[in-house]
Each structure stands twice: as structure tokens, then as C-alpha cells.
Structure 1
Amino acid sequence: MGFEPTKEYAQSLDAADGLSRFRESFHIPKHTDGSESIYLCGNSLGLQPKKAAQFVQDELKDWADLGVKGHFDKTFPWTRYHEFLTEPMAEVVGAKPHEVVVMNTLTPNLHFMMVSFYKPSGKRRKIIMEADAFPSDTYAVDSQIKWHGGNPKEDIILWQPRPESNTLEIEDLQTIFQQHGDEIALVMIASINYYTGQFFDLKKITELGHSHGAMVGFDCAHGAGNVDLDLHNSGADFAVWCTYKYMNSGPGSIAGCFVHERHADNNTLDRMAGWWGHNKEERFLMDPKFDAIYGAEGWQQSNAPILSMAPIRASMDLFMEAGFQNLLAKSKDLTNYLEFLVHNIEGDHIKIITPKNPKDRGCQLSLAVKNADKSLFEAISNKGVIADWREPDVIRVAPTPLYNSYMDCWNFVQILSSEM
């Protein structure tokens, strides 16, 4: 698109935006002067849908009025509550409904998946991760390797960027497999790198891993609700994600999990079983022999935390009303526009390290600050910008299509430019 850098142009883009009405469905935090903040932090914590409070209050009222009967005698019975999230969640992550379940939180789900899909044997015991992975992923992988008697310093292979680059090349991953293919048990990579915002080709990575006999899983924390993950067609064995970023479910809320349908009834896989993963028809017969539900639901352990799931319902309703493909289209335009504005800032103080090609990123742009000491980030924060800082030198901003506007992007760049 031939963008223009004027305020009037940004206003015209908002006027033509068919999704702009969804901004009114969210609470926008206020700056100290009472005005709306410029909230560009959906990659860290999404905003609260206005319907979320009512959905939680509905469950509190049912608890008060019905007590234990709320598990069955209501519109959204608690025994089935997670099922009301399955179809919209499957649509957002590109999976079949029986491949998806909403359960637990992110890192526990990663551990539970590695119990099933990381099976070191003989010389095949190494795990490939991307360099600069999110620390929780590294801690989880380290501890799983130690649990199996391995040494993380020897058993983790890092997919590294090339010198003078921040992003990763698939050719370098191919080289790793050429050198270590028969030693690799698992590929465990983020769908989007949290630091650079690079979106990886999940299908190519999966095909590469499978061709060398490795299992493949993805941490989609920064991808779910942001990009077209297409998990089923990627062929990945598993994926995990949180819902409090782009899916606006609230701080530390419940997470999601994908298990490809080829594993749907594979009872030879080890798993940390619990009663909510047991055959639904016989769950309350209290049979001591575990009978796993077909599909991802069979990896559940405990009954659903209803008060945490209620805000996800509120957010998923908005996703379905807006249409996820429509959101992806707006996200591309919004991010391209923000990129254009940043490139129009005079000087070389800011460098975008996120890939330029829209197919290789979502809505996050990572801005590397020259000679960074965090003072620029603090200055824009004082002017009403809510973004986040990642050491050593990056300001991450994410224009989220459900509630951010083109004027948000324009106002942010005016503040950024003036504070530099």
C-alpha cells in the first residue's frame, strides 16, 4: 500500500476499517492525564473484553444459586465448559476440534507434551531449540533432559542466527539435521520468537524433523491468535500456547494444547493421566483403569477452572464475530503501516529487527534502540505508551487488530520520534 505519514491519512484508514468497532468491546487503560493509553502490548497481555466480567459473574451466580448442580444443570455446565471453547480455538489455531483442548497453563502443558513426545533412546536424545528461546521453554527442556538422565549442555542443539543477523535461516536448520539427524529426538521451537517477532515456517520445520525421525512440537504463545498457525496441516506432533496474550483471557489464564490426530488414540504414548482425560461416559463410574478420551482431551488431568475459562469465552466470541481471517488481513495492514511510520523517523537510532516480509511475522515489531539504556522506553512510557522492553535493547510493540487503531500507530510514532 502507498501509505502517507499524515494524521489525516491515519484517521481515514480508521474510518474505512470495518473492524474498528471492536475497539469499543475492550477496556483501554487510562494514562495519568485521564486519556486513553496507546496500548501496544497485546503480545504480552491482551486487553480485557468488556463482556469478561459479566461472564465471570454469571458463573459466580450459578455457583451461588446452584452449588454442585452447576456441573450439569445450566446453559454452560461446568463438566463440559472447556468444550464450548474447542471449536473457536481450533479455528484460530488451524486444527480439527478433536486435536485441541483448553487446559492447564503453558509450561505445564509443555512438560506434559514432552512426557509423551520426548523419548530419548540410545544416541537419539538431543533436542533442537531456537537460540534465544523464551526462558521458560529452556528451563522446561533442561529439566526434561535431566529427568531422563541427560546433560542439557550436550543434549540441546541451538539453531543460531548468522553473524550480524537477528533472524534464523531454514538452511541452517537443515545443516544441523545433516550433521546430527540420527541423534535428534525432538524439535521444540517457538512458532514466533518472542524477542525478534520472527514467524517460522512450521510445515517446513515439521517435514524436516520427521524426515530425520524426530518428533516436532511448537510453543505457540506468541503465535496463537496472531498468525495463521495452520497446526493440522503443519503436521506437528504437538503444540502448546497461552491465551492471555493475543486471546485476551486475563493474566496467567488457562492455556491451550494441540495433539495431531494421528496420535488421537495412540495408547502406547506415555502421559501424565488424570480423571478428566478419562472416557466421559464412564468418568463418574470411578473405574481405576484409565481409558483415554480420543484426541487432545485425553491429555487432560483435572476438571476445568471455570472462572479462568469464562474470559476466554468472552474473547472467543469476539474473534468469531470479527472473523479470524479478517483479523489477519487487518493485522497485516496495521503492522505494515506502523513499519512505514517507523522507517520515516529521521536518523538511525531505531532499527526494526523483525523480518520485513509480512509472511515471516505477525503484528509484533521489535525495535532495537541504538546505544540503549532504557531511557527512551521510559520516556515514551511517561507519555502514555504501553509497550514492553526486552533486554538488552529492544522495545516490542504489537498493533493488535481487535482493538488497536491506525491512530494508535500514528500517535506512538509521534511520541517515539519526539522523545528521541
Structure 2
Amino acid sequence: MSEYSEDNLVEQPAIGLFSELGWETVNGFHEFDSSGKSILGRDAKTEVVLKSRLRPALERLNPGLPQEAFDQAMEELTQDRSAMAPVQANREIYELIKEGIRVKIPAPDGQGETVETVRLMDWNTPGNNDFLLVNQFWITGEMYTRRADLVGFVNGIPLLFVELKATHARLEDAYNKNLRDYKDTIPQLFWYNAFIILSNGSRSRIGGMSVSWEHFAEWKKINSEGEEGVVSLETMIRGTCDPARLLDLMENFTLFMEVQGGLIKLLARNHQYLGVNNAIEALKDIKHRAGKLGVFWHTQGSGKSVSMICFAQKVLRNVPGNWTFVVITDRQELDSQIYKNFAAAGAVTEKEAQATSSQHLRQLLSEDHRYVFTLIHKFRTEKGEPHPVLSKRDDIIVITDEAHRSQYDTLAMNMRTALPNASF
């Protein structure tokens, strides 16, 4: 094999990085030995979930549950979903992985049954999960067999797909000539996928299983906003495939949105991931910040509403408290657009969440809602009257979008009077 081959220059260094990050690594090229027995415990190449890894993980993460619970959970997770649209199948499995699988266990006396939830991941302690990277992994679909460069399994579930090209090859070919073919010929692999990485070593992009090439994004920075951006496979792997980061991206930075044309899966971009987590860190220090959680800069078209959704959803899932988010803009079309984006992502289901008038806003803020969407202008008062205090709660977070032109005048002062203990 040439010293300049894809394997030597791209694949082997990538495998070394995964190993450094704590992944177990296995070469699957000769997975089935001469006797036909798989070193990964598969019965056939059509199987994409490693049951020999999944079951011990379920038993470890769910002590005290009977074996029947694990049987039901594995059957639910691995059932055939070929009749579904791939992105629909992916969303269904994503919810099972994220929230756990509910199973029914008959009572010992035969009278009735209990409902238990089988956890598939330990989101809080990455080290309690089993991380395995297989290179040269064979998968057989209905008609064809394909060999994937790198597949990352967490607790036996194939969450990561990496397609590598030689350093001199066009990165677009990884999408056009390889990924598109794989999604057609071995679709069952992508039912479980968290995200996809395409790379030729120097250029790398990441994206969800349903998006087009144009929506695959670079990942330039691993940690701080101040570090110099580097577009390379090493930055991509360290920034997204470190066990804690991979689980964070899947749990808190993955969105399914109903858009014109159907359901799509979105993965937060590098700046959204870093910015949201910076905001989360500020929130943890909320009592010492005097209501100032910070400023999150975006350029036009860089996904402000996606950042808002990821931030709010991660807070609600991971930070204890009865949080309310008040989302404020200064233009009607922005207010409607952001509300529709939250609704399309399933983050907000209340029809009453969008304030229609100043009176309606006062009603919403005096009640207990997860989200309130409003224009800054609805904090106005008649004839210069002082604005009343609407809530003294200290678990209200105000998020403003493009409201800078109106955040330093009477309306802004009224807003802060109405919510004296909120954070902004």
C-alpha cells in the first residue's frame, strides 16, 4: 500500500485520535473469520446494532430490571423501519435513545403490570458508556454490500459515520459519490446515526443524515472563542467525537424541524455549540451576575433561533429550576419567524405563548409558561404611566434578538421594571 494512500495519510491518524480520546478501536475488514463467526458478535452483515455490546450496557445502566425488560427494549430499538422515511426512522430512534424505552413488565403474581423506562445512554457520565470505533465495517442492504471507513458505536448503537477521502481528492466527492450511495444501499445504518463527518484530512465537514451538501458545516474550534480556527480532521474529531462532546451534541444540539418540503434533522454548528455552552456556564453563576448572562454575537443568517432553541432546551433538560424564557424582538416578522421556528422544532406547543397585545403580555408574564414570545413594544404604558411589576421570579430568562435599537430606552426600562429579578 502506498505511503500516500488514504489509509496511511487519513484513516490511520484518525483511528489513533479516537484511541487517544478513549475509544476502543477494531479493524472490521476480516470481521467474519473462516468459520463465519463475527468478532463483533453479529449474526450477519445486515445487522448494524451490535447486540453483544448493547445488552451488557443496558444491564449496567438499568440495575434491578428483569431480563424481559432488556428483551423488549432491544426488540423495540432494532425493529425494521424500512417502511418509514429515513429521517422519520431516525427521529423515532433518536427519541428512544434520548428518553429511554418504556417497557411493560408483568407483576410477579400475574396481576397487572408495571411500566419501566430502560435507559440506553448515561448522558451525565460519559465513562459509563461503551465507545467502540470500527474501521472497514461491512454492511449489507437489500441488494448490495458496502464497506464504511469508520463507524462509531456507543453502547452498540452506530451513532457516528465517518467517510474519508485521500488528501488530494475533492471533499464533495465524499458526499456525492459515497454518502449518497450508502444512504440508498444501506439505509438501516442511518436510522441510528447521530451525525456524519466527511473529510480528506485537511478539509472536514459535519452534518445530519437528512441535509444536503450545502448544509454540511466546518468545525474550526475546539474550545475557546479566542483560539485560531483550524479546519482539519483533528480539530473535527477532537471537537465533536470526544465522548462528552459527542453525547452533548446528540442530547442537546440536535433538532428535528418540520419545514416546507418535510422533516429535516439539524445539528448545531460550531459557533452555536460553543456559544450556547458559554451561556450555560454563565447561567450556573446566575446569582452573582446581577441579571447579566452575556451577549451572544451572530452574523446574519447564522442561525440565531437555532441557538435560542438549543440553549432553552438544554437549560430545561439539565439545569434544575422552573425556568421561563421570554423571547423579545422589535419587528413583527422576526417575532413570528422565531415563534414558528420554536414550534417547528417541537420546543413550544402552547398556542397562547405569543403575546398579541400589551394586556395579553401582562397576563402571560403573570402566569407560569415555559415560553413567552413578544415584541418589545408591548411593554408600553399609556400616557407615561409607570409599568407595573408583573413577576418577581428570579428564574425568568429574557432573550432579545435584534432588539438593540430599542433596548436602551423607555420600553427597555419598562421591561426591566416588569421583571425586576429576571436575567437577560
Give the TM-score category using the shorter length.
under 0.3
Give the TM-score normalised by the residue count of structure 2.
0.21
Q: Specify which structure has the bigger relative contact order, considering alpha-carbon pairs within 8 angstroms and separated by 6 or more residues.
A: 1
Pick the structure with more helix per residue: 1
